[in-house]
Structure 1
């Protein structure tokens, strides 16, 4: 685990602040191929998405502790140096990279990072961009601004189940206008379909931290 200062924490955005657990990578072996194959009401706990086929980009904290590098997509503990738990990163170098801080054997910084993800590790393919300088494309709200169908009690009950259902891939969640917005490391639609199967349409929105590179 590692830590970072408040100004880096704020750079991660509201979703990270609201996250309830650290991030890592879900295992994908032996999972049913669709929500229809899973036990009734247990699709989220029975399925895992396939890794992305192409390159992805993510915004997070790169944490290097004595040469072990991770990409943290969830919350950051605010001690100094900071602490977090994330995806193992390969092909990382600090050479020519601005925006980092170092304390002892810990070096960290907040970046947009592009690369490939095999379900276990993130391999960097492009130079990282400091989050302070990164201008991401606006992501369309899948709700279209319409309220969801869940009442607060139902959404909070679902929220309590998610850490067990999603494991280390779960980054956090929060109720919003009848929806439960759920942040995960990666989803190819498998978990969104599973959530719809388990809880009904218009209740849960699954949002992956890793985003495919368009084009």
Structure 2
């Protein structure tokens, strides 16, 4: 699975077009309680063949841009400044909302990234512990691939971080279910996450 730099794509798009690990607290959340609220800077795009906007961690370098985004409920293009070309609408925003396993639902109005300090919304550095087992690069890659297959809506990349001995998984956001799956199926501290959207404390 190829790793990519999500915010590099976001800021590249912002320049030409318009517009972490989640901490251990996310893994400790009670999934039966109120849903986690996530926030971060990301490209929102709606292609001509879809009837809803999507959150895009990775954007193809084309004009108009393209992506397969996570559906976002509550989005109104008429309420935000955005770019539009050939029927495609897009922009880069700070979004806040919840995730139900299928779609992201806004809980606050989006903010244009150009109107805030982007440094305030960069993904946190991954929290890497001391892996309980020494795993090969192939084993770590297989773990990252497994996470992507298990959680295709949120995981968009990953691979072996041989320097730290972990599988580094790139995600749109990290849910309690993702933490639980990693803890239940792989050696302790074998998985580390980077996430575009972070839980709001």
TM-score tier (shorter): 0.5 to 0.7
Task: Spell out the pairing of 1:49-88 with structure 2 (5 A cutoff).
Answer: 53-66=35-48, 68-88=51-71
1:206 aligned to which of 186, 193, 198: 193
Note the alpha carbon deviations across 1:86-138, whole angstroms, 9 max, x for none: 2222222234534x321021110111111233333222232322334332277
RMSD: 3.4
Give the aligned partner of residue 191 of structure 1. Answer: 178
Answer yes or no: is 1:97 the counterpart of 2:84: no
Task: Spell out the pairing of 1:9-48 with structure 2 (5 A cutoff).
Answer: 9-11=9-11
2:152 aligned to which of 156, 167, 191: 167
Paired residues of 2:159 and 2:168 also in contact (CA < 8 A): yes
1:180 aligned to which of 167, 172, 185: 167
CA drift of 1:85 comes to 1.2
Q: What is the DSSP-based 3-state SS (H/G/I as helix, E as strand, rest coil) of the residue aligned with 1:168?
A: coil
Answer yes or no: is 1:153 the counterpart of 2:138: yes
| Cα pair distance change 1:175/1:160, threshold 3 Å | same
TM-score, with structure 2 as normaliser: 0.67
CA distance in 2: counterparts of 1:121 and 1:206, whole angstroms = 20
Give the aligned partner of residue 33 of structure 1. Answer: none
Note the alpha carbon deviations across 1:125-176, whole angstroms, 9 max, x for none: 32322334332277364226x6784332321232343433333332111322
Structure 2 portions without partners, runs of 5+: 1-6, 14-30
Give the aligned partner of residue 18 of structure 2. Answer: none
TM-score, with structure 1 as normaliser: 0.63
CA distance in 2: counterparts of 1:211 and 1:129, whole angstroms = 16
Q: Kindly tell me the number of residue pairs found equivalent between the two proteins.
A: 171
Give the aligned partner of residue 17 of structure 2. Answer: none
